């Protein structure tokens, strides 16, 4: 039994903390708001950007899993101090730093995304994500910390209720047979990473020294377009066929005036206007975690959303 620290309790943080607890580990979750304790999980209402507090939480831990999720409009102000605090805590405690990243750092790419591509993003969010990993990797190479980054594509599944084409926007509508709107090309192939697979990868790399010092893509099923995924989900729900419509650029432009989220999404629109395919073959050649079969993903996702329909309307 080991001690693990998880920063953040959004979908990925919660799934990771609960998986670790199920495996018999002691888990300390650090969030600003805190929560009541759960079996095997202690919730600490501390600011993870406070390096002294975070170091205190990580004393005796074998790993720090940084699963913090910050609103897009606060990335520039909030990510640098948080990342610096996490690195400082990892150095002080010698806990392995496991970073939950994403694919933004590559920028637009022709062809499948692999971990050996340069981090060549030109937008501010992509450059920031790249810089966060490069800082941790440099500290790792200097021998000051042990660090690894896990990069999923857009994830979906039980517990994912915000962002993404298959979460808050799509699921409630397709469960009622209503049309679903998408930001980009509804027929462009897109990689969708299943949330439980993200948690399993975060846990696996924490305990395997072969993973440390580099980034890995989370095992993900072959890419499917938004339309194909909606068809699969609606078929499982028994509400198909469901119409999938592309939102017009003009409408998005008007809406972005009033929506900070839509304004921030402009930078990563390319991910939905063209094929966006993640290659996880390097991970699969080295480690045990594999992507959950698509049928299981779809069944579990629809079941979870159905259970919450009375509270979502």
Tell me how far apart the 2 most distant CA atoms of the chain are, in Å.
55
Main-chain dihedrals φ then ψ at residue 246, nearest 5 degrees: -85, 130
Q: How many residues does the chain have?
A: 313
- What's the pLDDT at 183? 82
Main-chain dihedrals φ then ψ at residue 184, nearest 5 degrees: -120, -150
Q: Pick from 10, 307, 7: which is nearest to 162 by CA?
A: 10
- What's the pLDDT at 261? 60
Q: Pick from 58, 33, 57, 55: which is nearest to 45 by CA?
A: 33
- What's the pLDDT at 29? 98
Q: Where are the alpha helices (DSSP H) in 47-170?
A: 51-58, 75-93, 124-141
Main-chain dihedrals φ then ψ at residue 21, nearest 5 degrees: -65, -40
Q: Residue 297: which residues within 8 A CB-CB, separation 6 or more?
A: 156, 157, 194, 221
For residue 168, how many C-alpha atoms fall within 13 Å in the half-sphere facing its CB? 5
Structural domains of the chain, ranges and CATH numbers in brackets: 3-154+192-217 (3.40.50.720), 161-190+222-279+293-312 (3.90.25.10)
Q: Pick from 265, 108, 70: which is nearest to 182 by CA?
A: 265
CA–CA dist 96, 140 (Å, integer): 10
CA–CA dist 183, 185 (Å, integer): 7
Q: Pick from 87, 71, 65: which is nearest to 14 by CA?
A: 65
Per-residue pLDDT of the chain (313 residues; tens, 9 = 90+): 899 999 999 999 999 999 999 999 999 999 999 999 899 999 999 999 999 999 999 999 999 999 999 988 899 999 999 999 999 999 999 999 999 999 999 999 999 999 999 999 999 999 999 999 999 999 999 999 999 999 999 989 999 987 656 776 789 999 999 999 888 899 999 999 999 999 999 999 999 999 999 999 999 999 999 999 999 999 999 998 999 998 776 666 656 555 666 666 677 888 989 999 999 999 999 999 999 999 999 999 999 999 987 544 4
- What's the pLDDT at 269? 82
What is 253-310 written as a DSSP string? HHHHHH-HHHHHHGGGTHHHHS-B-B--HHHHHHSS--PPPHHHHHHHHHHHHHHHHH
Q: How far is CA 166 from CA 71, 120, 308, in A?
A: 18, 27, 15
- What's the pLDDT at 312? 45
CB 72 within 8 A of CB 164: no
CA 133, 263, 130: angle at the middle one, nearest 5?
Answer: 10
What is 179-223 written as a DSSP string? -EEESS-TTS-B-EEEHHHHHHHHHHHHT-GGGTTSEEEPP-PPP
User: How many other CB atoms are found less than 10 A from the CB of residue 305?
Assistant: 21
- What's the pLDDT at 309? 75
* 3-class DSSP state of 94: coil
- What's the pLDDT at 267? 77
Q: Residue 103 has what DSSP assignment?
A: S
CB 275 within 8 A of CB 210: no
- What's the pLDDT at 260? 64
What is the pTM (predicted TM-score) of this model?
Answer: 0.94
């Amino acid at each position: 039994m080991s001690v693990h620290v998880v920063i953040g309790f959004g979908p990925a943080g919660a799934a990771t903390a609960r998986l670790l607890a199920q495996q018999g580990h002691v888990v300390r979750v650090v969030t600003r708001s805190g929560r009541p304790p759960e079996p095997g999980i202690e919730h600490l209402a501390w600011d993870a950007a406070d390096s002294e507090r975070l170091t205190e939480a990580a004393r005796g831990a074998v790993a720090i899993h940084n699963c913090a999720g910050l609103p897009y409009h606060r990335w520039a102000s909030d990510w640098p101090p948080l990342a610096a605090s996490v690195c400082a805590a990892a150095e002080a405690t010698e806990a392995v730093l496991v970073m939950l990243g994403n694919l933004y750092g590559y920028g637009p790419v022709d062809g499948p995304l692999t971990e050996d591509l340069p981090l060549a993003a030109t937008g501010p969010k992509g450059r920031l994500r790249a810089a966060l990993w490069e800082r941790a990797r440099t500290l790792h190479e200097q021998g000051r910390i042990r660090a690894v980054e896990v990069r999923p594509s857009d994830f979906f599944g039980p517990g994912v209720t915000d962002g993404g084409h298959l979460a808050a926007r799509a699921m409630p509508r397709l469960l009622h047979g209503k049309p679903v709107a998408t930001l980009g090309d509804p027929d462009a192939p897109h990689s969708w990473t299943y949330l439980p697979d993200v948690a399993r990868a975060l846990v696996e790399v924490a305990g395997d020294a072969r993973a440390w010092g580099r980034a890995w893509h989370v095992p993900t099923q072959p890419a499917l377009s938004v339309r194909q995924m909606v068809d699969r989900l609606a078929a499982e729900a028994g509400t198909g066929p469901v119409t999938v419509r592309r939102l017009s650029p003009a409408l998005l432009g008007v809406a972005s005036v009033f929506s900070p989220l839509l304004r921030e999404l402009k930078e990563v629109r390319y991910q939905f206007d063209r094929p966006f395919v993640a290659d996880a073959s390097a991970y699969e050649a080295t480690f045990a975690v594999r992507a959950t079969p698509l049928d299981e993903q779809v069944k579990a996702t629809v079941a979870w959303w159905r259970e919450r329909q009375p509270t979502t309307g």
